[in-house]
Chain A
Amino acid sequence: MTDETPDTTTNQPPLRPEAEVLAEARRRSRRSFIGLGLAGLAGFGGWRWLFSEPNDEGIPHRVRKVLDANAQLSHAYYKQTRLAPEFARSRARTPRKNGTYGLKSELDPATWRMRVQSYGSDTTQEFTLADIQALPKVQIVTELKCIEGWSVIVHWAGARLSDFLAKYPLATRSGRPADPLNPPADLAPYAAVDTPDGKYYVGLDMDTVLHSQTLLCYEMNGKPLTPEHGAPLRLVTPLKYGIKHIKRIGTIAFVDTQPKDYWAEMGYDWDSGH
């Protein structure tokens, strides 16, 4: 056949016999499809392996590790001066109440105290709402972003947690005030915040605690907090999902290890940071 081919093909390799071509096609197809099948099985196996270890607070241990690694990466990129966007006050709305965990018992605002356990000691200091209100009043109009996926602009007012810690230096071992932009070496790495009954609790990293938009909040949309929104004092931080905005703060403790967190125990990301 190739002997008869005209000049146009002189520089081309001769065509291969059809039988040979089809045999190779069969061989390669078989190999490739088996390969794809095995890769699929391996992928499925890998996915199963990822989920094979016992639960680490609602999700498999290895998955939790990835979430923690994501958080670490995002903290490496984090900057204390980066702020959540603010909005016009006219756009503020009342958010949904959502969680009532930790709010179910009666509370007498007159006898309420915020108890703060200082870092590296067992001593606890008590604060009244007036103590918090004596600090500079800060107002922010930011998006409250719920982990469910909705968000609403809210006008919050309260004292910066960092201002509180500047006046009452309870987050350092030495009792030095914690400067947010130049945190001292003996600063606690975490804060654990609980409701008075201990039924709702969140853990916060120190970056968030010292951020200028993290408030000990006592007013929402220009009015004192109502009980269902966390009266007398709640946490507000646009750096985290709503789940970390603990209502009705009872205690704050500065601790060495990552504190337990209500929703993280249900399988959510502990950091839940923005």
Chain B
Amino acid sequence: MKQLVEKHPLAIRWFHWVNFPVLSLMIWSGLWIYWANDVYRLGWGKTTLLKFFPQSFYQAFHLEYKLAQGMSWHFVLMWVFFLNGLLYVGYTLFSGEWRYLLPNRHSFKEAIQVTLFDLGLRKEHPPVRKYNGAQQIAYTSVIIMGLGSLLTGLAIYKPVQFGWLTQLLGGYEFARIIHFALTIGYVLFFIVHVAQVVRAGWNNFRAMVAGFEIVEVDPATHEIKAGPAALPAADASLSSTK
């Protein structure tokens, strides 16, 4: 019997959907900035596996000669990115939502199971919870990455006033490398995230907009057969007590 179960609080949905365009524009303006000194590559010696970025990439997206504009966008939007992230972390702490999001001692094992299942290498379906181990690790990592972007950004934005931070992050040039690498990390996160959302289906996606999921409930026992509230406890160890 179909029933409606609350999944994502309104605040979380706001933070999520504010972050999406803001981070996109941060990355876009970041590309305008990076173009002016595009020295990074994957490779060794004289061998280059991947250059960041080929000339055709800049041309295709008209990313050239926009350094000043890129910096101005970046230094406006950084405030929105920072405040939204701060509010998100604050909200998860005060609401108790962090219990679902923070990885625990079972998350890593479960993340491997989830990954193997998603790759079709494992038959057994991992337990369905609000966030499984892989999600806990991914969503917590991306917040730490966000903090990393803020700190490395500050280290290259004001490298004298925050000289201690710049030194801590390996110096001016290395902090810029980390700042760039984190951005590549977001893009990879985004690709996997969207693929997983598509895979999980409409019910899951709608929850990030409307907040609820429709779940199948056993009319006899009221037990949720599958869904976000199937295992209300955040700790995977509690799943075995059933």
Contact = CB atoms under 8 A, between A and B. Distances in A.
B221 A150 contact: no
A69 to B, nearest CB: 9
Contacts of A21: 2-4, 214
Interface in B198-237: 206, 209-212, 214, 217, 219-222
B241 interface: no
A209 to B, nearest CB: 15
Interface stretch (B101-109, B120-128, B154-162, B183-191): B154-162
Contacts of B73: 63
A77 B220 contact: no
Contacts of A6: 220-221
Given A18-B1, A59-B69, A25 B212 contact: yes
A22 interface: yes
Nearest to A148: B36
Given A82-B160, A266-B68, A67 B210 contact: no
Chain B CB count within 10 A is highest, among A1, A59, A238, for A59
Interface in B144-182: 158-161, 163, 166-167, 172-173, 176
A50 interface: yes
Interface stretch (A28-36, A194-202, A224-232): A28-36
Given A28-B210, A145-B172, A274-B159, A66 B2 contact: no
Given A5-B219, A29-B210, A148 B72 contact: no
A145 B159 contact: yes
A274 B158 contact: yes
B215 to A, nearest CB: 10
B209 A8 contact: no
A54 interface: no
Contacts of B219: 1, 5, 15
B59 interface: no
A16 interface: yes
Interface string A17-44: 0100110110011011100100110010
Given A18-B2, A238-B160, A147 B67 contact: yes
Contacts of B160: 82-84, 238-239, 274
Nearest to A264: B68
Interface residues of B, number: 42
Contacts of A39: 17
A57 to B, nearest CB: 10
B100 interface: no
A12 B172 CA distance: 60
A143 interface: yes
Contacts of B90: none
Nearest to B39: A150
A273 interface: yes
A273 B158 contact: yes
Contact of B212 (A28, A83, A238): A28
A215 B36 CA distance: 27
A85 B172 CA distance: 10
Contacts of A85: 163, 166-167
Given A24-B4, A36-B17, A12 B222 contact: yes
A77 B221 contact: no
B76 interface: yes
A32 B209 contact: yes
Contacts of A64: 72
Contact of A22 (B2, B33, B176, B206): B2
A4 B222 CA distance: 12
A268 interface: yes
Contacts of B1: 15, 18
Top 5 nearest A-B pairs (CB, nearest first) are A149-B37, A267-B68, A32-B210, A148-B36, A274-B160
Interface of B: 1-4, 17-18, 21, 33-34, 36-37, 39, 67-69, 71-73, 75-76, 79, 158-161, 163, 166-167, 172-173, 176, 206, 209-212, 214, 217, 219-222
20 contacts: A4-B220, A5-B221, A6-B221, A15-B3, A15-B217, A16-B4, A22-B2, A24-B4, A25-B210, A33-B210, A40-B21, A58-B68, A66-B79, A82-B160, A145-B159, A147-B67, A147-B71, A268-B71, A269-B71, A269-B75
